[in-house]
């Protein structure tokens, strides 16, 4: 594990009050649409209409009455003969009311939905609509959005358990935008009910009722509940797609059950000209002539393409995921349905012959449906796709908070500092700019309840504030770091560590990495000793410090050397030395 330069002076953590989790989730509706206007109609009960102004009285929309609002600079609304403008609008009722959105694209069909509450404001040239739902209603909405291909009860029950587990793990994923979840597959596809006069409570899916409160656990902790449309006969190990998400239960397994899916086998022919255009414009390959070769250069343990070899006025190795996403964005979604394929040339076209749809990790919906049709239970389905897990009650789940780029696992005693932690990490990731793109899509961060637990889990001494393994971060108790006034400093340090460690070339010593982190975060670790330490001695002191005092001296010297480099060559030289050191740099490392 990489060791941080930050040390703490005390090891006792105070007991803190436990705050209960919110029983509701806020969901952005119609995330894939630009909503230009909305009409709301009260049905059997009145609807309370409140604006965003504190002194503005609320109105009551009587049964059978409508209010229509258009998104402009503000919300321009008409109710019967009166007109009013709102910066924000909130609708609440004890019974469902109808809403009918109108989208910017005229070809998108209009539908009517039933809600019991909604908040409206202007956003991105249109209108943002957020509703609050309880956990079971949220899971039902996810089944409407994600499980339309599932018919067998056991398959839908398995999906309900996964959707519920996911919601408990990822609440707050869009906290910066003011809601928990979007309604896209970025979170979980979510559809509100359309049944006339019936809201969420009256529209609980039978599979949700049958599994109420059940979640998937691995050794007592909420599992990472991935699912895919069709695995093509073999599921994908999570670590092959997202190295930071590798888990003993997210492994590649043979799946004979999805062979009946329409996506089990597929073939797609793409013209050479369109492929060259995508390679040139989307992947920035400077090609201008013929495509002499396009082949799979390497595969992962499940047989999926990892990299491609491209030959056209030069040769390149291209990441298979980046290639597939570029093709889909330029030529239409689903052109290449998965990374489980072979490639061959036919005249002026290249033919991709493959299996499956999606990333392939976790539960295969096609396989789960077939297993359920054959009489397999939901529990057996889940154990098949997530070996070693078990179904359990969800009311004792380990708290997990998340933001756009981070997942924070924390004991309940540390809850008061969770919001600050996520906000600090997000702000510092933004400061790191394009360099932070080397990080995983979501960085795993964990804090412990006591220093003793930290020492046991990381193997680090109690005076270390945090530790990282290059992919994730483990912290001392947030309360302790906050009390020592080093919480934000520790977070910035460790996040920078992940970026610098990822970028550091193998020939670059560890002391350079540590010095760069300290320089970039602006930390002060004391004055460097006047006595000159050799590079070999400095590397040894950085890698395995014998004490806190020795560590501080070594880090001060590393920072001093890096600071002198930036004074001579500029800060841009820092990133060049890290990623692509030249001959002079290598000599400097050894001085």
Structural tokens at position 159: 């999906």
Inform me whether the pLDDT recorded for 585 exceeds 80.
no
One domain for residues 253 and 379 = yes
Q: Which of these three, 332, 354, 376, is where a domain ends?
A: 354
Residues 6+ positions from 277 with CB-CB distance below 8 Å: 330
17 lies in a domain?
no
Query: How does pLDDT run across 439-457, given as a tens digit for each residue?
Result: 877 788 989 888 888 888 7
Q: Are strands 363-364 and 466-468 parallel, antiparallel or unpaired?
A: unpaired
User: What's the rounded Cα separation, in Å, for the pair 472 and 330?
Assistant: 33
pLDDT value, residue 165: 94
One domain for residues 142 and 67 = no
One domain for residues 124 and 28 = yes
User: What's the rounded Cα separation, in Å, for the pair 279 and 114?
Assistant: 45
Inform me whether the pLDDT recorded for 506 exceeds 90.
no
Average the pLDDT over each of 210-214, 540-544, 564-568 and give the range with the smallest value. 540-544
Inform me whether the pLDDT recorded for 302 exceeds 50.
yes
SS3 readout for 109-169: CCCCEEEEEEEEEEECCEEEEEEEEEHHHHHHHHHHHHCCCCCCHHHHHHHHHHHHHHHHH
335 lies in a domain?
yes
496 lies in a domain?
yes
- What domain count does the chain have? 5
Average pLDDT, the chain: 86
pLDDT value, residue 10: 26
Residues 6+ positions from 409 with CB-CB distance below 8 Å: 398, 399, 400, 444, 445, 446, 447
pLDDT value, residue 9: 27
One domain for residues 198 and 275 = no
One domain for residues 258 and 366 = yes
15 lies in a domain?
no
One domain for residues 427 and 482 = yes
**Nearest CA to 507 among 484, 532, 481, 535?**
535
13 lies in a domain?
no
Parent domain of 321: 266-354
551 lies in a domain?
yes
One domain for residues 151 and 241 = yes
3 state SS of 76 = strand
pLDDT value, residue 454: 87
Q: How long a stretch of residues is the chain?
A: 591
155 lies in a domain?
yes
One domain for residues 28 and 99 = yes
CATH code of residue 55 = 2.60.200
Q: Which of these three, 106, 133, 160, is where a domain ends?
A: 133
Rg (CA), the chain: 27
6 lies in a domain?
no
One domain for residues 248 and 286 = no
One domain for residues 122 and 213 = no
pLDDT value, residue 398: 54
Q: Which of these three, 503, 521, 554, is where a domain ends?
A: 503
User: What's the rounded Cα separation, in Å, for the pair 540 and 554?
Assistant: 9
Inform me whether the pLDDT recorded for 150 exceeds 90.
yes
One domain for residues 404 and 373 = no
């Amino acid at each position: 594990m990489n060791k941080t330069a930050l040390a703490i002076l005390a090891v006792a953590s105070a007991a803190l009050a436990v705050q209960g989790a919110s029983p509701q989730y806020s969901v952005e509706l119609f995330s894939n649409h630009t909503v230009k206007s909305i009409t709301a109609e009260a049905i059997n009960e009145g609807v309370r209409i409140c604006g965003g102004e504190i002194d503005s009285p609320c109105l009551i929309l009587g049964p059978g009455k409508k209010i229509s609002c258009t998104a402009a600079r503000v919300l321009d609304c008409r109710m019967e003969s009166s007109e009013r403008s709102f910066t924000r609008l909130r609708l609440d009722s004890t019974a469902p009311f109808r809403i009918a959105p109108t989208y910017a694209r005229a070809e998108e069909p209009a539908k009517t939905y039933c809600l019991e509450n909604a908040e409206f404001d202007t956003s991105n040239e249109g209108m943002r609509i957020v509703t609050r739902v309880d956990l079971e209603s949220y899971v039902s909405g996810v089944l409407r959005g994600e499980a339309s291909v599932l018919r067998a009860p056991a398959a839908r029950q398995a999906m309900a358990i996964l959707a519920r587990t996911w919601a408990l793990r990822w609440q707050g994923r869009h906290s910066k935008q003011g809601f928990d979840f979007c309604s896209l597959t970025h979170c979980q596809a979510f559809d509100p009910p359309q049944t006339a006069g019936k809201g969420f409570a009256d529209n609980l899916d039978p599979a949700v009722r049958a599994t109420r409160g059940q979640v998937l656990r691995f050794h007592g902790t909420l599992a990472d509940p991935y699912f895919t449309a069709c695995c093509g006969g073999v599921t994908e190990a999570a670590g092959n797609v997202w190295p930071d998400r590798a888990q003993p239960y997210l492994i590649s397994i043979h799946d004979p059950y999805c062979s009946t899916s329409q996506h089990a086998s597929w073939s797609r022919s793409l013209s050479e000209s369109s492929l060259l255009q995508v390679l040139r414009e989307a992947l920035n390959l400077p090609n201008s002539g013929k495509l002499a070769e396009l082949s799979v250069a390497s595969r992962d343990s499940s047989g999926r393409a990892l990299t491609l070899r491209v030959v056209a006025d030069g040769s390149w190795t291209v990441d298979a995921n980046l290639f597939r996403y570029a093709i889909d964005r330029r030529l239409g979604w689903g052109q290449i349905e998965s990374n489980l394929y072979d490639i061959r040339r036919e005249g002026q076209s290249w033919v991709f012959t493959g299996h499956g749809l999606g990333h392939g990790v976790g539960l295969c919906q096609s396989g789960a449906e077939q297993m359920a049709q054959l009489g397999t239970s939901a529990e057996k389905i889940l154990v098949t796709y997530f070996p070693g897990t078990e179904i359990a009650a969800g009311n004792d789940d380990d708290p997990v908070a998340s933001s756009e780029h981070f997942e924070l696992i924390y004991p309940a005693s540390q809850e008061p500092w969770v919001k600050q932690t996520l906000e600090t990490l997000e702000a510092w990731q933004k400061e790191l700019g394009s360099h932070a793109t080397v990080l995983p899509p979501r960085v795993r961060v964990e804090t412990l309840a006591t220093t003793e637990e930290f020492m046991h889990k990381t193997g680090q001494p109690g005076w270390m504030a945090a530790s990282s393994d290059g992919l994730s971060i483990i912290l001392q108790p947030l309360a302790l770091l906050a009390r020592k006034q080093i919480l934000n400093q520790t977070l910035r340090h460790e996040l920078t560590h992940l970026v610098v460690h990822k970028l550091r070339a193998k020939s670059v010593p560890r002391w350079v990495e540590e010095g760069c982190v300290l320089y970039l975060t602006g930390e002060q670790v004391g004055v460097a000793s006047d006595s000159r330490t050799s590079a070999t001695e400095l590397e040894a002191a950085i890698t395995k410090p014998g004490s806190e005092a020795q560590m501080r001296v070594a880090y001060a010297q590393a920072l001093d050397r890096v600071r002198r480099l930036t004074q001579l060559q500029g800060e841009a030289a820092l990133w060049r030395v890290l990623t692509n050191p030249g001959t002079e740099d290598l000599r400097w490392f050894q001085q």
